[in-house]
């Protein structure tokens, strides 16, 4: 019996990245793939990729970093990230042909053979855009939910500061905090994004960090009585300024440090001693440790989406070929909202 073979466009890593990502670090190639799972390949799924997530953490996986939680992407191999996919064939008991899934094993390619599926979630509710499952209903949504509610343990009336607040995670942290009854300020890198935070997402206030010569002064202006909760997406000098302005018993959720990802020599934070007398709890976290809360999260957020209580902004690039440019844009703040690549809108 003849098996269909089709062309499969892929985005591959050409070399390890040291410092800033360059266009020459990634390239488009075409291979072939069988449209049936090979005989004897049990527990596998063959998928067609529909939407791919373009997240800043990917650069960590493109370098030789000693971080066990991030599997390195080897030069010559396909980029792998979160995606929404359709199952074309399955030898796995949990997945059937025709089902829609989202998870962290989508290749930056048209088709992916996933031989050892893990953390793949079936998409049950299709009354929302499928792209939301690499955004508000996927990893970024769960990151915002776990980081804010589980790590920060908010109390009504507390003050909350969010960096990269117009990004895939930050826009949700701010809205969750407002729904909970907190006072929320966000920072972003353009006037357009600041306007978005205040006028669309409902932040109490926001500022453009690029226009501030002194972060410490800016934070004192927005938080004259101090910060209770800081959701950190950037690290570096902003983190240092925030620590100066934290209140006693404040909480810091360290989600990411995008300001440091492209530096060959990361910046230091020089005032960590203040964590002691202020009794600040500062905790990093990895979202996969909280996926057991996904059903509870959906119960909360799906009604909010359908009732218009939570708004989500996406920046969608069309076609697999656009993925390298989209990723480069994330590191210079070109995207507005969650950066997504639409591989196929089937």
pTM metric for this prediction: 0.95
Tokens of 87: 């199952």
Band (pLDDT 50/70/90 cuts) for residue 2 is low
CA distances from 198 to 193, 233, 308 (A): 9, 19, 16
Decide: helix, strand or coil at residue 329.
Answer: helix
pLDDT score of 299: 97
**Residue range 172-185, pLDDT digits in tens:** 999 999 999 999 99
Mean model confidence pLDDT for the chain: 95
**Residue range 184-235, pLDDT digits in tens:** 999 999 999 999 999 999 999 999 999 999 999 999 999 999 999 999 999 9
**Residue range 27-74, pLDDT digits in tens:** 999 999 999 999 889 999 999 999 999 999 899 899 877 777 678 899
Report how far residue 287's alpha carbon sits from residue 18's, in angstroms, rounded to the nearest whole number.
25
Buried b (16+ CB within 10 A) or exposed e, 119-152: ebbebeeeebbbbbbbbbbbbbbbbbbbbbbebb
Contact of 242 with 230, CB cutoff 8 Å:
yes
pLDDT score of 77: 95
Band (pLDDT 50/70/90 cuts) for residue 263 is confident
Assess whether pLDDT exceeds 60 at residue 1: no
pLDDT score of 185: 98
pLDDT > 90: percent of the chain: 90
Assess whether pLDDT exceeds 90 at residue 346: no
Band (pLDDT 50/70/90 cuts) for residue 76 is very high
Assess whether pLDDT exceeds 90 at residue 261: no
Assess whether pLDDT exceeds 60 at residue 242: yes
Report how far residue 100's alpha carbon sits from residue 108's, in angstroms, rounded to the nearest whole number.
17
Domains annotated on the chain, with CATH: 5-135+313-342 (3.90.180.10), 140-288 (3.40.50.720)
pLDDT score of 98: 96
pLDDT score of 280: 98
Residue 62: CA count within 13 A, CB half-sphere: 27
Buried b (16+ CB within 10 A) or exposed e, 265-277: eeeebeeeeeeee
What separation, in Å, do the N-terminal and C-terminal C-alpha atoms of the chain show?
28
Average pLDDT, stretch 99-121?
A: 96
Q: Write the Ramachandran bin of 62: left for phi over 0, alpha for psi from -120 to 50, otherwise beta.
A: alpha
**Residue range 283-341, pLDDT digits in tens:** 999 999 999 999 999 999 999 999 999 999 999 999 999 999 999 999 999 999 999 99
């Amino acid at each position: 019996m003849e098996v269909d073979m089709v062309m499969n466009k892929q985005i591959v890593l050409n070399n390890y990245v040291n410092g800033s990502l360059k266009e020459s670090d990634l390239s488009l190639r075409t291979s072939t793939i069988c449209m049936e799972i090979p005989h004897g390949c049990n527990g596998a799924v063959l998928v067609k990729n529909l939407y791919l997530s373009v997240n800043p953490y990917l650069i960590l996986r493109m370098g030789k970093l000693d971080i066990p939680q991030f599997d390195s992407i080897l030069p010559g191999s396909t980029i792998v990230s979160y995606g929404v996919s359709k199952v074309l064939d399955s030898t796995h008991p949990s997945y059937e042909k025709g089902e829609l899934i989202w998870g962290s094993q989508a290749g930056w390619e048209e088709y992916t053979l996933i031989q050892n599926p893990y953390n793949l979630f079936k998409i049950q509710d299709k009354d929302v855009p499928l792209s939301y499952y690499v955004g508000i209903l996927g990893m970024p949504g769960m990151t915002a939910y776990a980081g804010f509610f589980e790590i920060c343990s908010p109390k009504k009336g507390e003050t909350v500061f969010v960096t990269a607040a117009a990004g895939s995670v930050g826009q949700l942290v701010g809205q969750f905090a407002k729904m909970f009854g907190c006072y929320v300020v966000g920072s972003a890198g353009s006037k357009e994004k600041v306007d978005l935070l205040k006028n669309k997402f409902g932040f109490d206030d926001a500022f453009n960090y690029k226009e501030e010569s002194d972060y410490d002064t800016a934070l004192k202006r927005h938080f004259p009585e101090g910060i209770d909760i800081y959701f950190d997406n950037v690290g570096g000098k902003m983190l240092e300024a925030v620590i100066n302005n934290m209140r006693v018993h404040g909480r810091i959720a360290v989600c990411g440090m995008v300001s440091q990802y492209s530096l060959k020599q990361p910046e230091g934070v020089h005032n960590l001693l203040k964590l002691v007398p202020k009794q600040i709890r500062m905790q990093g976290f990895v979202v996969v440790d909280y996926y057991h809360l996904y059903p509870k999260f959906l119960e909360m957020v799906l009604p909010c989406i359908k009732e218009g209580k939570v708004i989500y902004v996406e920046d969608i690039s069309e076609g697999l070929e656009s993925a390298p440019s989209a990723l480069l844009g994330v590191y210079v703040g070109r995207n507005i909202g969650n950066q997504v690549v639409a591989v196929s809108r089937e």
